[in-house]
Structure 1
Amino acid sequence: MKRIFSGVQPTGNLHLGNYLGAIRNWVRLQREYESIFCVVDQHAITQWQDPADLTRTTREVTAAFLAAGIDPEACVIFHQSAVPGHAQLAWVLNCVVRMGWMNRMTQFKEKAGKHKENASVGLFAYPALMAADILLYKATHVPVGEDQKQHLELTRDAAQKFNNDFGREVFPLTEPLILGAATRVMSLRDGTRKMSKSDPSDFSRINLTDDADLIAQKIRKAKTDPEPLPSEIAGLETRPEAANLVGIYAALSDTSPEAVLSETGGWAFSQFKQALTDLAVETLGPMTAEMARLLAHPDEVDAVLRRGAARAQTIAGPVLDEVYETVGFLRV
């Protein structure tokens, strides 16, 4: 059976973009693929995390997985640090990938900015850990968005170089799994910027923990322009905030922006925002309530992670053994 691996960093403020761009797709894939979903807490610490917050947000992301409909009996759900093989394989891959490959990674440049000399070694090398995450389970496919394609290319390069260096086909060349038109959710305050958990304004995003009143308030205050909605998609080309809200409506209703505009063309934004609020609350409300219930019972969340880590280890252990034997590490 084909196997997918994907993960989310537990860095707080899980938002609508995470749900529409990733988690919702995983729910749909879990019956079609053998699925491994990970809370990548080791990736999170490439930048400073308050320890208490990291513990809390690890549970919060797990609760979001479960509340969205990911079935822990059908899938493996675990947190990265619970399976030592991730770090162990990452070190082997650090000795395979080349500095030139790492230097080309655009996300390091974006995250480090002008202060790359002060960035952690972990932030620079984390694409090797990401490759290890995938290859430790010999995943055949990874669901990817535009911003992750480069990392998957590095994973494929690392796998191919390892196989070539040692003359053995240990790792598959993992394929991207692109699910139709990407759902790219932008900031509610600036339609040219991606919705982000790191944005200082909480009103730039809809968090998965927001209640109905807060969702309504954020949509009501979302930036728009004074013109009514157009009836055709071409009318949104120079209106990023309008395009974003139409895109969110289309994603939540499982339709296309064209279909949304055919119904709402000519509406004032006051009318459209009310319809979007109703749809968002209807769609997200049950998930938010289930997340709240799970977070009030952390033992239930921890039990899912504990069982998932044990299942992940049964897959990862033999792969790491194969890698160590291939490299020539003495096993006594």
Structure 2
Amino acid sequence: MDRNLALELVRVTEAAALVSSKFMGRGDKNGADGAAVEAMRRAFESVKITGEVVIGEGELDEAPMLYIGEKVGMQTSECMEVDIAVDPLDGTSLIAKGLPNAISVIAVGSKGSLLNAPDTYMKKIIVGPKAKGCIDLNKSVEENIIAVANALGKKTTQMTIITQDRERHDYIVETARKLGCRIKMFGDGDVAAGIATCFEETGIDMLMGIGGGPEGVITAAAIKCMGGDMQAQIYPLSDQERNRCYEMGFSDEDLEKKLSIEDLAKGENLFFAATGITDGDLLSGVINVGNNKAKTQSVVMRAKTGTIRFVDAIHNLDKNDILIELMKKYNM
């Protein structure tokens, strides 16, 4: 795929981040999410692709835009066909409360490259490049921590495990503490937490736990770009979620299957882009600098080359038609 696509994708996540950032701390997570979705959808109109949303805001009857199956992009005869996975606002509760690590994210791949995961839970283990090939979802928490520690040349007492702050992860926390590991909890924002394992400066060695399935596919694309590793299993926690899996063509055998990173995001024609909305471990949030200007920080990755670029930008909000229209619509 055209490497110039990378910068176009950053413009899309920037638009979503800039608009949704106006809701920071206002307690309106639905308003923030709606604004991010609309900004991202509008920004896609100028991207030179024929894209189909495979991970999005839900079915057509659940979402007015960026729904599963929706075609986005310029869609001319010269445009490449791609799968698109989006989360315009990963961390709706975070933005509503003004908490760290809310981001806007996109993953793009060749047609058929991204798993069309059901909107259900997913069991995950994620590590950075140095521990690639050392994880096994079928093994115990203790076995995985020890294997990753050995790969990193660390004692288990030097390991930092990140997991979502939920009761369902008590078994992970208890085992990690027995091994002397440090534990970092996060409330929301599956994608940002997973990506952090691939950047040494975050100090996070591995992620374990059960989180969102769609977010797992987006995370897998990023991990693939960075040379890390991930294993997962579709993991419905209710009969409703299990029935949703059946409706999307997944069998009981599929739900028992251990998924490799290649099952989640195939091949090398993958791009990932993210823009910070609130300050986080990896990206700075949107900063208003006066004179109706704002700063953003983004990251964009390409699997084929392994290139990771950080993009700092200053936006003149008076000269962006999408932002002008949406700011007026949402009384910002």
Give TM-score, length-normalised by structure 2. 0.30
Q: Which has the higher helix share?
A: 1
Give TM-score, length-normalised by structure 1. 0.30
Q: Which has the higher strand share?
A: 2
